[in-house]
Amino acid sequence: MAAFFGTYTNKVDKKGRVSVPARFRAAIAGSAYPGVLLAPNEEVGAIDGSDFERLNQVIEGLDDPELYDDEAMAQAHETLAMVQEFPVDGDGRMVLSQEFRDFAGITEEAVFTGIGSTFQIWSPDRRNDHRTSGGRTGSSLASMRVPRRKDV
Amino acid sequence: MAAFFGTYTNKVDKKGRVSVPARFRAAIAGSAYPGVLLAPNEEVGAIDGSDFERLNQVIEGLDDPELYDDEAMAQAHETLAMVQEFPVDGDGRMVLSQEFRDFAGITEEAVFTGIGSTFQIWSPDRRNDHRTSGGRTGSSLASMRVPRRKDV
DNA sequence: TGGATTATCATGGAACTTTATGGGCGTCAA
DNA sequence: TTGACGCCCATAAAGTTCCATGATAATCCA
């Protein structure tokens, strides 16, 4: 499974091109398709990203009645309808569409944040606001719990 | 699972390179990726470290609705966004980024402390302050508890 | 068992590779 | 033809590998 983590800030040139962080590229390497999948995240005003493998898992999950009730299903459909494919070129860059840049308020720079099996793309300002708001006290890697191994 | 313990002090050269203690390298040997994962620990002003296996466990846990509510998830995302990957070279060294050195106040030397399934990296001064403050009386290996074995 | 030999480790420097970034050039379609 | 787009090239900075050395620790053996 692709694992995305860390924060990277890259320039967006006048063509709308931006380098996908090398570590993220490595995470999606070997995937069936050399690119990423992006969708607006309306909750936070950023862009969500993932690879094909993750999307396939999500799609499979839709068939599980325990995961989705009617309301959640309708919402999931809306989200899937917003997903777009962005190829990554030979130099490791993709072209962020004007539509998505406008949505996320991205102009000169884009901030990539890895959050596990997916990642997000932010404008620097919004990223800062989001990070400093919410009053989250510093968590730490050492304090994060892992699922207790189930003895079967 | 990787087990980290003991304290080691190593030099940081002008490129920011520092040897990972051989015992720690042995602990992560066999991991899918020859490197360590580091994240700032804002509570104590040091750097938390772990291996890939541990991070993957954490990431898998994120899909478990019983482990994370919305608030805990937001916090977990913040932590993951701070995690960075540091490859360990053939000589057993990694390059501590300027950002992380600044955060932890590390200049010439770095102190590695193993604390179980993760480890920490300190500036010598902060390490000293932290150890001597807090009034923690000496615990002992003999007094430490272990989980009761479950009969299955 | 004392001393010699062999690993392993931490450290320094140099050479090499990758990454992020900017620009150019042809193609296709509106 | 004027963008939008894909593709290729150039380059500086950063990251990574390679080689050398002294110090310490482990091993061997007569």
The per-residue pLDDT for range A115-126, each reduced to its tens digit, is 999 999 999 999
Choice between A88 and B137, residue whose per-residue pLDDT is larger: A88
- Contact, A15 CB vs strand D, < 7 Å: yes
**Between chains, do A138 and B37 touch, taking CB under 8 Å as contact?**
no
Domain A4-133 has CATH 3.40.1550.20: yes
Q: Which pLDDT band, with edges at 50, 70 and 90, does B138 fall under?
A: low
Show residues of chain B in contact with A146, CB under 8 Å.
54, 57-58, 60-61
pLDDT digits (tens, 9 = 90+) for A72-112: 999 999 999 999 999 999 999 999 999 999 999 999 999 99
Please, which residues have CB within 8 angstroms of residue B46's CB and are 6 or more apart in sequence?
A: B104, B120, B121, B122, B123, B126, B127, B130
Q: What is the pLDDT of residues B45-100, one digit of tens each?
A: 999 999 998 898 888 888 888 888 888 888 889 989 999 999 999 999 999 999 99
Of B63, B74, B80, the CB nearest to A136: B74
User: Using the beta-carbon criterion (under 8 Å), do A145 and B61 form an inter-chain contact?
Assistant: yes
What is the model's pLDDT at position A152?
A: 45
**Closest residue in chain B to residue A24, using alpha carbons only:** B85
Q: Does A142 touch chain B (CB under 8 A)?
A: yes
Measure the CA angle with vertex A65, ends A59 and A71; round to 5°.
Answer: 85
Q: Per-domain residue ranges for chain A? A: 4-133
* Nearest-neighbour CA in chain B from A93: distance (Å): 21
Instruction: Quickly state the pLDDT bin for B141 (edges 50, 70, 90).
Output: confident
In tens, the pLDDT along A12-49 reads: 999 999 999 999 999 998 787 889 999 999 999 999 99
Beta bridge pairs of residue A85? A37
Residue B149 has pLDDT above 60, yes or no: yes
DSSP B107: S
Interatomic CA distance for residues B125 and B143, integer angstroms: 29
A140 contacts on B by Cβ (under 8 Å): 39, 41-43, 48, 79
Q: Which nucleotides of D are covered by protein (CB under 7 A)?
A: 5-10, 15-20
Q: pLDDT at position B152, please?
A: 54
Q: Is A81 on the interface with B (CB under 8 A)?
A: no
Q: Tell me the two tokens of residue A73.
A: 């299903």
Nearest-angstrom CA–CA distance, A115 and A118: 6
CA at B35, C1' at C3: how many angstroms apart?
A: 40
